[in-house]
Chains A and B, each alone.
Chain A
Amino acid sequence: MINFNYLKILILSTLSFAAFGYANFIGYSYQQCITCHYNPYGNGPLNDYGRALGATLVSSKEILKDSLSDEDRAEMSSFLYGKYKGDYFKPHANYRGLYYKTDIGSETSQAEWINMMANVGFTFRPTKNDSLIVVASIGYAPEPSNPVTGEEPSTYRSREHYIGWRPSKNHGLYFGMMDKVFGIRIPDHNSFSRTVTNLTMNDGAHAALYHYTNKSFDFGLQYFLGNLQQDENVRPSGFTTQFEYSLNNLNRVGASFLSQSNTFSSQSMWALHWRAGILKGSSIMVEFGRVTKEFEGSEATTSEYFFLQNHILIKRGLFALVTFEQFKDNIEDTDKTLKLGPGIQYFPFQGIEARFDIYNLRSLSEQNYSNDTWSFAGQVHIWL
């Protein structure tokens, strides 16, 4: 039963959904995050175009079907369903709540409602073409079940605060607290591609990011000091880089590399990723990566993960999705963990998302047998 407990801990300790970079929108031929987000790697507040797109292309129009045209919906997709005024100051607010039930069918089953985040923030745009932006978000965050050593657990934190300067459309420089650039930035922060790599919502860092983009590719190079709120000894600093290339308007391949260390440990990792749009909103996303971690006084171990997520657009606003993941804690062992997660994602109206996932976790080992575990996650996400 060793693995059973391990899996249980794994789920509970890494459970966190946040961020809202929807990389799967390549299914609509949107390849680059900067089209919809102020941050060139997604996440964080949406720009006006992204909000309008969310209100029209992505969200269902069943609610107020007869009284609101798509033009109306786009027009009222600004803060608090307001109209666009060409503001210099763009406020935003986000809430994400999660109902999570673990070990379904077992006596140890637990269920709870977690307020994952309740953020408010703003984007300051002194220039109309967004060549200069200031982004900041602060809000409630649940105390992590695996707090980072040396960090005072706090239920309020700054998710991000950075200044972005794009001297031209192609080049951008960003300074401040932001997420690290690595892999496909998906909203499922409980996936192995986010947890094993230490890239969950609480792993942002004070960093300097250079971003280059053109029609064919994106390149990013980021140097980070770590989260300056953390104790210096445990704060991982290092650099990361990512390259993504468009094979055509529906296929994008990329590679990422990250290296970081603190006083006690070092970590290096790489990933290869591919996003494919299958048109009309459906998509496939694949990421394969290896993470090598070395702690002081012990040998380095390399983990391996494989992430596959497919979206099927059933009708406007409604997706069926399946996440399939494989994780090897140590590539020298044959033991591995499989995770299969069928789910439903529904955007009933602009600024509202509901998502339901069932996760089947299976351990494959030559040393022991363990039963599968099943869990359920139901989320509500509101962004205004």
Chain B
Amino acid sequence: MVIRSLLLLILFIPIANALTLRDAANAYKKRQYRKSIKIIKKISKGNIKFYTDDSLILMSKNFEQLGEMKNANMIRNFMISRKYRKENREVKKALAGKIDLDDLDELPKGLLKVYYMMLSSRYDMYLKNKSARNKKAVIKFAELLVEQDYKSDKAEIILKRFRDEEQRKKDAIFYKKYFMLASYASWQDEIILTDDASGFEQDINSTAQGTLLTAGMTYGNAHGEYRFQLSVGFGAATVGEDSGDFDYFQNNVGETLFSFTSGYLWKTSDNVSIGVSAPLLLRIGDFTEPDGFTISQGTIITTGLLAHMVWNINSYFLNLEFGKVLKLRSSFINIGVGYTF
């Protein structure tokens, strides 16, 4: 008779609970969280010790939805301490960094299920309040689940989001850097020779090359940088015109350049940048004035637009600028090697 009664108890009570739990689950689905909690409480007559794992899980979810995180966490902690006290102690040690995560034994699925719930809950909380404490907890739980290979794909996604978020923050930080640059430059001058007597003007051209010494600063982040540089240059030009009206030729004409260049370069990768820069240029040329003639544009202040590219290899970089500078003929080319401090 006793055995028969026990069998009836075993067979019928879970069925009755499952049916009622289904009602609680339906209420949860309908977002009737209070009602769902009431049903669960009714099943076990308000005594938490008699709650099944499923009912506790559902109850914690209800509390979570109601924003009563303290209650939700209390239920989960109860579930852990009820069945997995020993394992949880080891996990706590691992999460505190006292032992490595990979030193943990394989944890029971039931425990991992609770950890996963705690991860999801903490992550949702983090998304709402961006609290550093929640973030830390989420990362720990996610790493634990990855290590235990329980829903590791979902944990990985969360970890990747954090990594991306960190990277975005890091990439957005602006910082200054200073550099020195020595370069080879070449340009073509366009000066005007005027016959003082007749007033006749003739364009005289030259090809020049020289060395530029530059000091500069970059201010930028991982996406791009502003570039400011001061340069002084010394060059030599060959000047000539073989038109029928004039015969003017000079070589090794000394030229001095001063420039302030500002530009913006986009970073196509960590070490390569491409962009544009605009120099403000003072060029002084020691052109000889023949008797009876005047040279204009021997000294010019001008500006232009240059394509600008930089390739960084560790602290060294290759700098290339080329483009059009007003009052100069053809292109302005500047190529050199620099060092970033």
Contact = CB atoms under 8 A, between A and B. Distances in A.
A46 interface: no
A279 B269 contact: yes
Contacts of A333: none
A280 to B, nearest CB: 4
A340 interface: yes
Contact of B205 (A1, A276, A320, A369): A369
Interface string B308-341: 0101110000101010000001110101000000
A278 B330 CA distance: 31
Interface in A235-281: 276, 278-280
B218 interface: no
A369 B209 contact: no
Contact of A278 (B205, B269, B322, B331): B269
A192 to B, nearest CB: 16
B88 interface: no
B285 to A, nearest CB: 14
Size bracket of the B interface: 20 to 34
A304 to B, nearest CB: 15
Nearest to B322: A340
Interface stretch (B25-33, B58-66, B129-137, B270-278): B270-278
A99 interface: no
Contacts of B312: 278
A342 interface: yes
Nearest to B274: A312
A366 B205 CA distance: 13
Contacts of A365: 207, 238
Given A278-B269, A362-B207, A369 B238 contact: yes
Contacts of B245: none
Contact of A366 (B241, B242, B252, B272): B252
A279 B268 CA distance: 10
A340 B307 CA distance: 12
A363 B186 CA distance: 11
B269 A360 contact: no
Interface in B226-243: 238-242
B81 interface: no
A360 B309 contact: no
A26 interface: no
A110 interface: no
A313 B331 CA distance: 24
A372 B313 contact: no
B329 A372 contact: yes
Contacts of A322: 309, 320, 322
Contacts of B211: none
A148 interface: no
A23 to B, nearest CB: 16
Contacts of B329: 371-372
A360 B268 contact: no
Nearest to B333: A340
Contacts of B333: 324, 338, 340, 360, 362
Contacts of B335: 308, 324
A67 interface: no
B206 A369 contact: yes
B244 to A, nearest CB: 13
A284 B318 contact: yes
B188 interface: yes
A282 interface: yes
Contacts of B209: 364
A364 B188 CA distance: 10
B251 interface: yes
Contacts of A14: none
A278 B309 contact: no
Interface string B245-275: 0000101100000000000000011111010
A340 B311 CA distance: 17
A368 interface: yes
Contacts of A369: 205-207, 238-241, 249
A335 B331 CA distance: 19
B283 to A, nearest CB: 17
Contacts of A320: 274, 309
Q: Considering residues B206, B268, B320, B335, which has the most beta carbons from chain A within 10 angstroms of its beta carbon?
A: B268
Nearest to A335: B238
B238 A278 contact: no
A381 B209 CA distance: 37
Interface in A300-321: 308, 310, 312-314, 320
B183 to A, nearest CB: 12
Contact of A312 (B188, B270, B272): B272
Interface string A366-378: 1111111000000
Nearest to A320: B274
Contacts of A366: 238, 251-252
B271 A364 contact: no
Given A312-B309, A360-B330, A369-B240, A279 B251 contact: no
Nearest to A276: B313
A282 B238 contact: no
Interface of A: 1, 276, 278-280, 282, 284, 308, 310, 312-314, 320, 322, 324, 338, 340, 342, 360, 362-372
18 contacts: A280-B268, A282-B271, A310-B311, A310-B318, A312-B268, A312-B274, A313-B268, A313-B269, A324-B335, A338-B333, A362-B186, A364-B186, A366-B238, A366-B251, A367-B251, A369-B206, A369-B240, A369-B241
Interface of B: 186, 188, 205-207, 209, 238-242, 249, 251-252, 268-272, 274, 307, 309, 311-313, 318, 320, 322, 329-331, 333, 335
Given A279-B270, A312-B311, A365-B238, 17 more contacts: A284-B318, A313-B268, A313-B269, A320-B274, A322-B320, A324-B335, A340-B322, A360-B322, A362-B333, A364-B186, A364-B209, A366-B238, A368-B249, A369-B238, A371-B188, A372-B329, A372-B331
